[in-house]
Amino acid sequence: MRGSQTFARWQTTLLQLGRLGQVLRVPVARIGARPNHTRGIRGGAEGKAVEVEEEIRAVGGTGASVRIIREVVTKRRTWGVANGDKRKRNEEEQAAKRLRTGAENEYATTQFSKEEIEAEGRKPKRKVAVLIGYAGSGYKGMQINGNEKTIEGDIFKAFVAAGAISKANADDPKKSSLVRCARTDKGVHAAGNVISLKLIVEEPDIVQKINEHLPPQIRIWGMERTNGSFSCYQTCDSRWYEYLIPTYSFIPPHPKSFMGKKLVESAEKEGVLDQWRSRQEDAADFWEKAETEYVKPILDKLDPEMQEAVMALIHSSVDENEPEVSKKKQKQAAKAREAASVQKSDSDGSKSNLTQADEAIDSERGPSMVKEEKPEDIVDTSKSSDSVSESARRNGGDEENLETKNEAGGEVKNKDEMEGIEVKVVNDVQIKKEEGTEASKSILTPLDVAVKEIKAAYIAAKKAYRISDYRRQRVQDALSCYIGTRNFHNYTIQKTFLDPSAKRVIRSFKVGPTPVIINDTEWLSLKVHGQSFMMHQIRKMVATAALVVRCGTELSIIQESYGQATISIPKAPGLGLLLERPVFDTYNEQAKTKYEREKIDFDKFQKEMDEFKQREIYDRIFREEEKDHQFHTFFHHIDHYRTDYFLWVTAEGISAARQSKVRAELMEDDNASDNEPDANGEEG
């Protein structure tokens, strides 16, 4: 009864408010919004409120409605004052962020004295488009960011060293109007990219001089004079990216993994088990063959109790709240270790694959040891040192003296503490000994050796996998779902469904016609052409397509991901991503006729670019994957991560996945860079 009375009062008030709007000759929604809405009645905020009261009473308003309307007017005025000008707020936020990250006034790559600057003299600068290529390994991204090691930072230093930028302008890239066409993230490569700025380009061999001051993994292809107002960021029409991915990324999850079990349970629950199995038929026997050919020979050397303990550890799931194995499996492992301690270690067969096995188990342990991280970041395959740095920055600490856990769960000490550590070999196993302490007791037991060998065997089996035509077509079908104008709010950070900037245009997304085999591993090339890309967008698109194919998910889930529901999508490893080239078709059409300038065209440097891409990018990707097994680690951890965040790939769809928490956490992501003119950034 009371609720209906309240509703009736509000209804009456709204009617009176409508009549008031007619009296004041303004829409109801705009009453109190701005001072000039009641211009000619009275001036000032207080006069406005008094006049509103008089008008309400004149049309029969009650005391309650007067209070309500007065509150509306007051709150709207307060809101306007508090929020102020949007541009001013944005500038203040940017300044605050630069202050937090220490980026303000830290662009000074080279400092010169006043005498040196005056002695140099002034030379004319010209606006140019600089065509560049680089391998992003070892760099914290493309864009200059404080004192971090970045591609632009090294290029700018080379400009100064070669005399392309004067000493007077050497302390700040902004003085040269530096703009980048596409910003790439940490570790992401580019065969072709463009930066535009004002340079001194009088010398004919200026490109050669600049390259002499650059490392081999960064090259300047050439320069083109442009019109004075040219901005490569604003002028770029579209961008081509390539993503290299090993085909074993599309193998279905192991049947004993958490994800493998959930896929079957969900399909049975929804009554679509037969349809799901038909989509997985071409790879249904992979794991059985892998265990017969690669795993069984190792298990045959172990006693039954040891076999049980080893396989329990291999297929243990990682709980989102407790990253260690379950207590039951811990007891099994402890029991097996105790039994093994009284036996002699069988070294036969335990040496040959030890190095590869060490890498396998260490890489798989890494993400599982991290607590209280976002699901997308838990399965990221970044180095532990980067995680330490980011954690230190988030917590306001000093990363140089920070002690944490490394990827293998061991303690990472700072440089001073690491000095004086002696390495000894005991029973063909390297152990470390600190001065003044006893030798470490963490010598590998037979159980540890067996676990390492079996994990290495699984990796070897994956590398031997060759994708079928049916599964490769499934990959293409999944990628084709991205083509068109889509709402990619789930494929980036800091975007909501209602944010218009989350809508992006994908023109094509194609799988290479023929896989290539490098170091016994089969790779696919995925090429995407789009107008622009948001941060992490391509890596999340690739991860989604891979999860849909390997989990036998209906392709309709990709269409559903464009909807209002928020889902957690992990980032595929940045290792395989490279910017192929930006496209300037619109500018090139006018370059000759309107500006009397040359086109921005990478074709004239194609031979050099192909050699560079093979030597510095492709080979680097293959080497790093061979060493670190990043793709194996990424998908292995997703399969064994015991959470409902990624269960949208099951037959139950989005309803089976947790949706609320992740979006709130993503909105607090401090790693997003917004120094671009468009704060949406670029892919990386």
Catalytic residue annotation? 185
Say if residue 241 carries a ligand binding annotation. Answer: yes
Rounded distance between C-alpha atoms, residue 277 and residue 49, angstroms: 70
* C-alpha pair distances (Å), 497 with each of 314, 376, 500, 542: 40, 19, 8, 20
Rounded distance between C-alpha atoms, residue 119 and residue 117, angstroms: 6
| Tokens encoding 458 | 């699984």
Geometric angle at alpha carbon 618, from 382 and 149, rounded to 5°:
45
The gap from C-alpha 560 to its chain's centroid, in whole angstroms, comes to 21
For residue 525, list its beta bridge partners: 244
Secondary structure letter of residue 441 according to DSSP: S
Q: Which residue has the tokens 């007891």?
A: 331
Rounded distance between C-alpha atoms, residue 679 and residue 394, angstroms: 20
* C-alpha pair distances (Å), 100 with each of 146, 150, 626, 671: 11, 19, 38, 12
For residue 598, list its beta bridge partners: none
Rounded distance between C-alpha atoms, residue 524 and residue 475, angstroms: 10
Q: What is the CA radius of gyration of the chain?
A: 31
Phi-psi region of 626 (alpha: psi -120 to 50; beta: other; left: phi over 0): alpha
Helices then strands, counting H and E runs in the chain, come out as 27, 16
Q: Is 113 helix (H, G, I), strand (E, B) or coil?
A: coil
Rounded distance between C-alpha atoms, residue 478 and residue 522, angstroms: 20
| Beta-sheet pairing, 411-412 with 404-405 | antiparallel
Q: What would you measure as the largest C-alpha separation in the chain, in angstroms? A: 101
Q: Which residues are annotated as a binding site for substrate?
A: 241
